Amino acid sequence: MKRFKHYDACTLDEAVSLLKEFDGKANIIAGGTDIVGLFKDNVFAESPEALINIKTIPGLDYVQEEEDMLKIGPLALLEDLAHNKLLKSNYTALAEAARRTASPHIREMGTIGGNICQFSRCWYYRLPNNRFNCIRKGGKDCFAEEGENRYHSIFGNVKDCLAVHPSDTAPALIALEAKVKTTKRVIEMADFYQTEDAKKFSILDSDEILIEIQIPRPSESTKSKFEKFAIRKSIDFPIVNCASKVEFEGDKVKKANICLNAVFVTPYVPKKAEEYLEGKALELDTVETAAQLALQDAKPLSKNEYKIEIAKSLIKKTLLACK
Ligand SMILES: Cc1cc2nc3c(=O)[nH]c(=O)nc-3n(C[C@H](O)[C@H](O)[C@H](O)COP(=O)(O)OP(=O)(O)OC[C@H]3O[C@@H](n4cnc5c(N)ncnc54)[C@H](O)[C@@H]3O)c2cc1C
């Protein structure tokens, strides 16, 4: 591991001014379950000079419902979210996504903020000592295109990168129509990830900190659900995951939100499927059509066509579970 400086920030202002001081050469550390591995394996093309610890800032781990909104602090632990009674009953997809993330030990350390800001798990990107200088690191090639691409994108590339986004909680937050408050602005969770700059995953600036997640309270006639397919039942990233939220009017769908992850460079919202479901009853044939529409534009690589059927089946499962 290369040497770096470590700062315990006492306030958000202090953390922001440290990030500004290092001008893109420092990272935030929350639970450390992702960033420490990246530092240890010397994954970055240019080693960051500092880690700014935000766990030393008090009061950032809350979960509280206020009027029509659930507010979650960025340091709320995944394990706490998984067992939170309010989340389990009203924001089910998020509680389930947190419960299915990693292992109990990692959920006791890992935070919701860190989970949605985590880096790629592409094995070419992640190989120690920057062995593959891929597009994400300023290189010219995506090694997955011709190489081992069984876990990569089925919806094409972005700036030639085929790595998928690995977060379990991000699709749940997008389906639940969450917003993310930062030290600079409020962003729709659906707009949090970006495809313009291959060197970063979210739209956060290098001196910007995520300070709150806000989820509108679902109506009484709304249900949400999360499902994940992974090789192992625990400590495993998704091959595909899916979160759906359905609001009903009588027995018909008023509004459906669906978000898949691990199928594209950013979480993937199948808009055609969402629109098709409006005004329909959730029956086997309607969810089947919705799943077909959702995967209609898939362009699988040489070794990952199998993901299409998995994605369809998770869409159907989550939608039917909302009935
Ligand atoms: C063995 C293993 C298995 C895993 N399995 C899964 C899995 O199945 N599903 C899944 O989704 N994840 C999985 N993960 C990833 C893990 O869940 C994440 O590492 C964890 O949620 C990250 O949270 P953290 O607080 O530890 O983040 P950190 O490691 O501290 O930070 C991660 C990134 O987020 C940034 N960051 C953190 N907080 C903020 C903030 N408030 N504002 C701005 N930037 C911030 C950091 O700078 C860093 O870039 C796994 C990790 C391991 C090691």
pLDDT at residue 233 greater than cutoff 90:
no
Q: Which residues pair with 111 in a beta bridge?
A: 77
Please, are residues 51 and 64 in contact by the beta-carbon 8 Å criterion? Answer: no
* Angle (CA) 54 60 62, round 5°: 150
**Minimal-distance CA residue to ligand 1 atom 13:** 102
Residue 197: band (very low, low, confident or very high) from pLDDT cuts 50, 70, 90: confident
What pTM was estimated for this model as a whole?
0.98
Tell me the average pLDDT across 232-261. 96
Pairing of strands 5-8, 50-53: parallel
Question: How do residues 8-48 score in pLDDT, each as one tens digit?
Answer: 999 999 999 999 999 999 999 999 999 999 999 999 888 89
Query: Stretch 257-266: mean pLDDT, rounded?
Result: 98
Among the atoms of ligand 1, which is closest to the Cα of residue 111? 25
* Per-residue confidence (pLDDT) for residue 206, from 0 to 100: 96
Tokens of 270: 């199948």
Residue 236 CA to ligand 1 center (angstroms) comes to: 13
What local confidence, expressed as pLDDT, does residue 239 receive? 98
Atom 25 of ligand 1, nearest CA residue: 31
Residue 125 has pLDDT above 90, yes or no: yes
State the pLDDT at residue 130.
Answer: 87
Give the binding-site residues of ligand 1, using a 6 Å CB cut-off: 27-35, 37, 54, 74, 78, 101-102, 106, 109-111, 113-115, 117-118, 166-168, 204, 209-210, 235-237
Kindly report the backbone phi and psi dihedral angles of residue 221, in degrees, each rounded to the nearest multiple of 5, phi listed first: -95, 25
Distance 248 CA to ligand 1 centre (A): 34
